[in-house]
A and B are shown apart, each in its own frame.
Chain A
Amino acid sequence: MIQMFHVTKAYPGDPPVLVDINLDIDKGEFVFLTGPSGAGKSTLLKLMFLAERATRGQVLLAGRNVARLRESGIPFLRRNIGVVFQDFKLLPTRTVAENVGFTLDVLGTPRDEVRDRSLKMLRRVGLEHKADVSPLKLSGGEQQRVSLARALVNDPALLLADEPTGNLDPALTVEIMDLLTDVNARGTTIVVATHDATLIERYQKRTLRLEKGTVVADERGAKAARLMSQTA
């Protein structure tokens, strides 16, 4: 699903943020991306949804080399990628259902269908009863579920989450993580960036550890959990 070969990312005038990254994430995998703050996790995710381009090296998404992708091709690629953030990025002036429907509006989906599919998606995250209120009226956990619903409503092949539980207390964190596990079980590839060691210990998924812009460990299952207790 995602392959990177010798990827370097540098912003002009600064030392490189990512250095010689090599990775291969298969279709259907669930991967944690961890490491201290400033290690480059968010930047690596940005390369995956093409908010940024690699300075050097190759990035392949679903087998396509994105270096050769023209700027105008990016939107079409993004329609197959869902993204959620720590701060949810919901629009306070729109209802919950309208926020979810945004993903479908962009495709030119008829209004009724947008409404139907948004409600269906909200039911999946347990928020159908909040469809017509402002996201401002929801708790943090609920807002993140809305943001997940928006990312998933068009059934993307890949879901990227940047510190999705960073603003949530432990109970709500579990709620979101269980949802992600469920989405992954249905076949969506998931990459979650987090610096929360307890998550990694609890869920025991493949874990890539970044430090100062390079991948320093790539472990699976119990080993991943141990990796965290050693270095965290």
Chain B
Amino acid sequence: MSVASKLAYFGRTAIGSIVRSPFVHVIAVASLSLALVGFGVARIARAQLDALVDALGGEVELTVYLAEDAAPEQVAELEQALTQRTGGEVHRISPAEALGRLATQLGEDGKALTELPQNPLPWSLEVRLPKAARDAEALGELSRRTRALPFVTGVDYGEEALVRLGLIARALEVASLVVFSLVFLTAVIVVSATLQLAIFARREEIEIQKLVGATDRFVRVPFLLEGLLQGLLASGLALGALVGLVRWLESSAAGPLAFARLDGQLAVEWPRLAGELVGIGCALGLSGSFIAVRRFLRV
């Protein structure tokens, strides 16, 4: 009557079923693994993209140009206001400093600049933004608000690149949502088909179980467990495959993803990824077996 011996029985039954018809289970586990490897690759790629955005974002600065007639006190006031508003670091660039930089950038041609009777450049402020403020929307909003401040004549930031990266990231998210819905659905269908076969193969056993007084739950649980085991097995295999893949990419200097490697290491949070794979694998396996049990197990 003990729960433990029932669980042991369920385990033996589910494993026995897998062992007795390995071929169909190999198909189910393979489909699940493929789906999970695909998911893992997308996850890892997404993490690389995020890292890339972060790295680019490190160079994102807001440059605020001020009116020529802005007095040093007013510049200081603005500097304070921007520091407060953005939570970032604000540097004051004097017209002389700006002219110097420009001259350096222009090299030989820049020499003419020093000949000018009067410095034509205005004061400007360079704002290094904290990480949290570095998405396209927040930046757009900030630049709009800054433009409205007194003495501000223009605001510049790496608008284009950032907006484009943001769009790419969002498009990838939507696309992967669609693709993985389909991939996962297919995996669930395959699992449920193998469970349907398992139920068919054990129809006599089920009949006898019912005859000798098995409850419906007792008949069903081993099949659900079978789906769960398929999911677990598949997530283990997928994780192994992904570890192998990442090792290979990291070790081959001219690998296809070499451009995205930041410092010879891919940004993979393994514990989290493993958790997701196991969670999704089990959920897919269970859903497949649940559907099969619901539709085909007439007890």
Contact = CB atoms under 8 A, between A and B. Distances in A.
Interface of A: 49, 72, 75-79, 83, 89, 91, 93, 102-103, 105-111, 150, 154
Contact of A107 (B1, B205, B208, B210): B1
Interface residues of B, number: 21
Contacts of A103: 212-213
A105 B9 contact: yes
B213 A78 contact: yes
What are the 6 A-B residue pairs with the smallest beta carbon separation, nearest first?
Answer: A79-B213, A78-B213, A108-B6, A106-B214, A110-B5, A103-B212
A76 B212 CA distance: 9
A89 B207 contact: yes
Nearest to B204: A91
Given A93-B20, A107-B1, A110-B5, A102 B207 contact: no
B208 A89 contact: yes
Contacts of A108: 1-3, 5-6, 9
A75 B208 contact: no
B251 to A, nearest CB: 48
B209 A106 contact: yes
26 contacts: A72-B215, A76-B213, A76-B215, A77-B213, A78-B211, A78-B212, A78-B213, A79-B212, A83-B211, A89-B204, A89-B207, A89-B211, A91-B204, A91-B205, A102-B212, A103-B213, A105-B9, A106-B214, A108-B1, A108-B2, A108-B9, A109-B5, A110-B5, A111-B8, A111-B9, A154-B212
Contacts of B207: 89
Contacts of B210: 75, 78
A89 B209 CA distance: 11
B139 to A, nearest CB: 62
Name B's interface SS. helix
A103 B211 CA distance: 9
B212 A110 contact: no
Given A89-B208, A108-B3, A110-B2, 11 more contacts: A75-B213, A76-B215, A77-B213, A78-B211, A79-B213, A91-B204, A91-B205, A103-B212, A107-B1, A108-B2, A108-B5
Interface of B: 1-3, 5-6, 8-9, 20, 204-205, 207-216, 218
B170 to A, nearest CB: 50
Nearest to B9: A105
Contact of B215 (A75, A111, A150): A75
A76 B210 CA distance: 10
